[in-house]
C-alpha cells in the first residue's frame, strides 16, 4: 500500500504525480505510518494530491463510506425501535455506550466530533454526555510494543535507555496518541505522548470523503451558500498539523510566550531533546479536569473563577494576538493544585488575521449599540457577505433577530444563542460561513459548554465585555478609535452613560492600565483625528459648567429668599436647569467616582499633565470656544429672561393675562441651540 507524498502542490498550483512509498520493514508499522513529510520534516495537508490518490482507489473509498454510514444507520434504527416499543428510558444507557463505541471505532476525526459534543450539556442528554466524556482521554490504548517501537525509531534508542523511568501502561489515551508518565535522567517528571499507528492513512481517507461530501452538498443543495470545501480544508490543515508533534511543541512555546504571563495561566515546558514528529516529551503537570467539580472543590479551588480565567485568555487569543487554541475540551484544560488553569495539547491551533480581530470587536460594539446597519457592514468585512450584497433587506432582519435576542442586556446572551439566531438568517439571506470562523465557533462553543457545566447561569459575554471595553479604551488602532466614536456619539450628542459603562466594565479587566488610557486619550484628543471629539467635548464642557453655575446660582438664590422671607416667589421657569444637562452632570460625577475606584488611580499623576495640556494650541482654542459659548449662553439668557420679560410686563394691560412677547425685529438664536 502506498500513500501520496504530502508536499507536491504549492501556491504555484503545479501538480507533481504522487510518488509511492514502500511499506516499512518493521512489522509494527504500516505504510500509513511511513514518513510522509516535506524536506523540512513537516506534514502538510494537500487536498489536490489526496483527490488524485483516492480517485484511483474507489473500492477503498466506498468500503470506508459504508463502514461510516452503516453503524449510524443501525444506531438510528435502534433509537426508533426503542421509541416504538416504549423502552427508550431503559435503553438510553446502552444507546449512549453504542454511540461512544461507534465514534471510537470510526477513528480520530469522529472522536473529535464526540469530544465537541461532550462539552454541551445544553444539547446532549446526561447519559450520552457521560459516555462521550470518556472520549476526551479514556480511549482504548494501542499496544506498548508498538508505542515503544515508535519511541526507538524517533529518538534513536529504546525507551529504557532514554528515560530514567516510564510507566508500564499509558496513563491516558486520546484521539491521536497516548500518554505515558516518565522521568528524565536529569530528574524531571515528564509526559511522553506517542502517536497512534495508521493515523495518517485513516485521517486522510476520512478527510477525502468529508471533502467530497462537502463539494456534493455545496453543488446540489441550493440553500447552502457557505464554502463547505474550504471549511473541510481548514479542518484538514489543522488536523495534519496536529499529527506533527514537533509542530505542536512549537505551538506550545509560542502560546506560552503570548499568554503564559497572564495571571493564573500555566503552560508546560517542552523537552526538545526528547521530541520528534511522532513522540512529544513535555513537563508533567498535576491537575484536575474542569468538569470534575467535586474534586476541584475538595482542593478549595473555585471552578467558576478558572472558567473566567479561560474566557479572558480566549478573548486575548482571538482578539489580541490572533493565535488561538482550537480544541479546548475538558481533557485539555486542567485546574492545578495551586489554582492555575493549565493548557494542554497544542496540536490544533489556528490564527485570526488582524482585520478579522478588529472586525469581531466592531461587531460586538455594533451589537451592543444596536447599530444593525453597522453590524451588516461588519459581516461584509468578516467575509460572511460579499461586497456586492444588497444590505437593504438584511439590516431590518438583523434588527428583528437580535432585538429579541438582546432583551434587556447583551450580558444575557451566550454564543450558542447568537449562532442559533444567525442560523435563521443564513438560509434566508446570502450569508456564508468563512473557513476561519468555523474553528473560532468550535473553540468558543466548546469553552462555553465547559462553562455551562460548571455554572448553568454563566454568561460568557458578560465576562467578556470588560475586556472589550478595555480594548476600546486603550487600543490605538484606527478601526477601534472609530468604533469608540460610534459608541460614544449619537446624532451629535455625547452619551455619557456609554462612557460610564465602558469605564466601569474596563476597570474589572485584570490588565487594565489607567495611565495608558489617559496617555492614549490625550494623544488621540489632540491629534488631527480627535478634532471631532474636541468639538463635541467643548459642547459638553459648556453644558456642564453652565449647569454647575446655574445650580449654584439657584441654590444661593433659594437660600437668600429663605433669609428675607420670599419663599413663596418662584424663580422664572426658564431659569431651571434642563433634565438632560442635569443628567450629564450626574454622569460626569459618577465617572469621576469610577476613576477614583479604578486600580492605579493617582491624582498626583494627573496634576503634572495640566501645565502640559495648557500649552497646547488645541487647548487654547478649546478654552476660547468654551468662553465664547458660555458668554453667548449668558447673553441669550439675560436678554430672554430679563430684558424681554420686563418689556412684556410694561406693555401688558393691568389685571389681564400677559400674552407671549413677539419681537420680529429682534432675531436671536434660541437658548436651546447652545444647550444641546
Active site positions, annotated: 327
Q: What is the residue whose three cell numbers read 505551538? A: 251
Sort strands 189-195 and 333-335 into parallel, antiparallel or unpaired. unpaired
Please state, as a whole number, how many other Cβ atoms lie within 10 Å of the Cβ of residue 199.
21
Q: What is the residue whose three cell numbers read 498626583? A: 604
Q: Considering all CA atoms of the chain, what is the largest pairwise distance in Å, rounded to the nearest integer?
A: 120
Q: What is the dihedral of CA 33, 37, 43, 45, to 10 degrees?
A: -100
Question: Distance between CA 353 and CA 515 in Å, rounded?
Answer: 28
Question: Distance between CA 371 and CA 355 in Å, rounded?
Answer: 20
List of residues 6+ apart from 474 with CB closer than 8 A: 506, 512, 513, 516, 517, 520
Question: Distance between CA 146 and CA 153 in Å, rounded?
Answer: 11
**304-320 residues labelled b (16+ CB within 10 A) or e (exposed):** bebbbbbbbbbbbbbbb
By the 8 A CB rule, do 149 and 29 touch?
A: yes
C-alpha cell at 18: 504522487
Classify the phi-psi angles of 61: left when phi > 0, otherwise alpha if psi is within -120 to 50, otherwise beta: alpha
Sort strands 165-166 and 177-183 into parallel, antiparallel or unpaired. antiparallel
By the 8 A CB rule, do 520 and 472 touch?
A: no
How far is CA 636 from each of CA 14, 41, 563, 667, rounded to the nearest angstrom?
A: 78, 80, 30, 11
Amino acid at each position: 500500500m502506498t500513500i501520496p507524498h504530502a508536499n507536491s502542490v504549492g501556491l504555484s498550483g503545479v501538480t507533481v504525480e504522487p510518488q509511492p512509498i514502500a511499506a516499512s520493514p518493521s512489522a509494527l508499522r504500516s505504510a500509513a505510518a511511513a514518513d510522509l513529510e516535506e524536506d523540512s520534516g513537516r506534514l502538510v495537508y494537500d487536498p489536490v494530491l489526496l483527490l488524485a490518490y483516492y480517485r484511483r482507489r474507489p473500492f477503498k473509498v466506498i468500503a470506508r463510506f459504508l463502514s461510516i454510514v452503516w453503524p449510524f444507520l443501525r444506531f438510528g434504527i435502534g433509537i426508533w425501535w426503542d421509541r416504538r416499543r416504549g423502552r427508550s428510558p431503559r435503553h438510553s444507557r446502552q444507546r449512549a455506550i453504542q454511540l461512544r463505541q461507534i465514534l471510537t471505532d470510526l477513528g480520530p476525526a469522529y472522536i473529535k466530533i464526540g469530544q465537541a459534543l461532550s462539552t454541551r450539556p445544553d444539547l446532549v442528554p446526561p447519559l450520552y454526555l457521560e459516555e462521550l466524556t470518556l472520549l476526551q482521554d479514556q480511549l482504548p490504548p494501542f499496544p506498548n510494543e508498538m508505542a515503544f517501537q515508535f519511541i526507538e525509531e524517533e529518538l534513536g534508542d529504546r525507551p529504557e535507555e532514554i528515560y530514567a523511568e516510564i510507566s508500564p501502561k499509558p496513563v491516558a489515551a486520546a484521539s491521536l496518541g497516548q500518554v505515558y508518565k516518565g522521568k528524565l535522567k536529569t530528574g524531571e517528571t515528564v509526559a511522553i505522548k506517542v502517536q497512534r499507528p495508521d493515523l495518517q492513512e485513516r485521517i486522510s481517507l476520512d478527510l477525502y470523503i468529508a471533502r467530497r461530501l462537502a463539494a456534493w452538498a455545496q453543488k446540489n443543495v441550493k440553500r447552502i451558500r457557505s464554502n463547505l470545501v474550504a471549511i473541510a480544508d481548514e479542518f484538514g490543515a489543522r488536523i495534519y498539523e496536529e499529527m506533527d508533534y514537533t509542530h505542536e511543541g512549537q505551538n506550545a512555546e509560542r502560546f506560552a510566550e503570548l499568554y503564559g504571563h497572564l495571571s493564573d495561566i500555566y503552560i508546560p515546558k517542552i523537552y526538545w531533546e526528547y521530541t520528534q514528529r511522532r513522540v512529544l516529551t513535555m513537563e508533567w503537570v498535576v491537575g484536575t479536569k474542569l468538569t470534575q467539580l467535586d474534586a476541584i472543590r475538595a482542593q478549595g479551588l473555585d471552578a467558576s473563577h478558572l472558567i473566567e480565567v479561560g474566557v479572558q485568555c480566549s478573548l486575548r487569543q482571538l482578539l489580541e494576538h490572533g493565535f488561538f487554541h482550537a480544541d479546548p475540551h475538558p481533557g485539555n484544560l486542567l485546574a492545578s493544585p495551586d489554582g492555575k488553569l493549565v493548557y494542554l495539547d497544542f496540536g490544533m491551533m489556528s490564527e485570526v488575521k488582524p482585520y478579522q480581530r478588529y472586525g469581531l470587536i466592531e461587531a460586538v460594539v455594533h451589537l451592543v449599540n444596536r447599530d444593525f446597519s453597522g453590524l451588516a457592514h461588519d459581516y461584509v468585512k468578516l467575509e460572511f457577505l460579499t461586497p456586492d450584497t444588497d444590505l437593504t433587506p438584511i439590516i431590518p432582519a438583523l434588527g428583528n433577530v437580535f432585538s429579541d435576542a438582546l432583551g434587556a442586556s447583551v450580558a444575557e446572551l451566550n454564543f450558542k444563542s447568537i449562532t442559533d439566531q444567525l442560523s435563521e438568517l443564513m438560509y434566508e439571506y446570502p450569508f456564508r460561513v468563512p473557513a476561519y470562523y468555523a474553528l473560532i465557533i468550535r473553540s468558543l462553543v466548546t469553552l462555553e459548554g465547559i462553562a455551562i457545566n460548571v455554572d448553568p447561569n454563566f454568561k460568557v459575554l458578560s465576562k467578556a465585555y470588560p475586556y472589550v471595553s478595555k480594548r476600546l479604551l486603550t487600543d490605538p488602532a484606527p478601526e477601534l478609535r472609530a468604533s469608540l466614536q460610534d459608541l460614544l456619539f449619537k446624532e451629535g450628542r455625547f452619551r455619557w452613560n456609554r462612557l460610564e459603562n465602558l469605564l466601569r466594565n474596563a476597570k474589572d479587566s485584570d490588565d487594565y492600565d489607567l495611565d495608558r488610557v489617559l496617555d492614549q486619550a490625550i494623544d488621540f484628543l489632540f491629534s488631527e483625528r480627535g478634532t471631532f471629539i474636541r468639538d463635541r467635548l467643548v459642547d459638553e464642557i459648556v453644558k456642564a459648567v453652565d449647569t454647575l453655575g446655574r445650580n449654584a446660582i439657584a441654590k444661593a438664590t433659594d437660600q437668600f429668599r429663605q433669609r428675607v422671607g420670599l419663599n413663596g416667589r418662584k424663580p422664572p421657569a426658564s431659569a431651571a436647569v434642563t433634565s438632560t444637562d442635569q443628567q450629564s452632570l450626574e454622569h460626569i460625577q459618577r465617572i469621576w467616582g469610577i476613576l477614583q475606584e479604578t486600580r492605579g488611580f493617582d491624582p498626583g499623576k494627573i496634576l503634572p499633565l495640566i501645565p502640559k495640556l495648557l500649552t497646547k494650541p488645541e487647548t487654547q482654542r478649546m478654552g476660547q470656544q468654551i468662553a465664547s459659548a458660555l458668554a453667548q449662553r449668558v447673553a441669550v439668557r439675560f436678554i430672554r429672561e430679563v430684558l424681554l420679560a420686563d418689556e412684556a410686563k410694561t406693555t401688558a394691560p393691568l389685571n389681564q393675562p400677559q400674552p407671549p412677547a413677539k419681537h420680529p425685529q429682534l432675531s436671536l438664536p434660541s437658548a436651546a441651540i447652545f444647550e444641546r
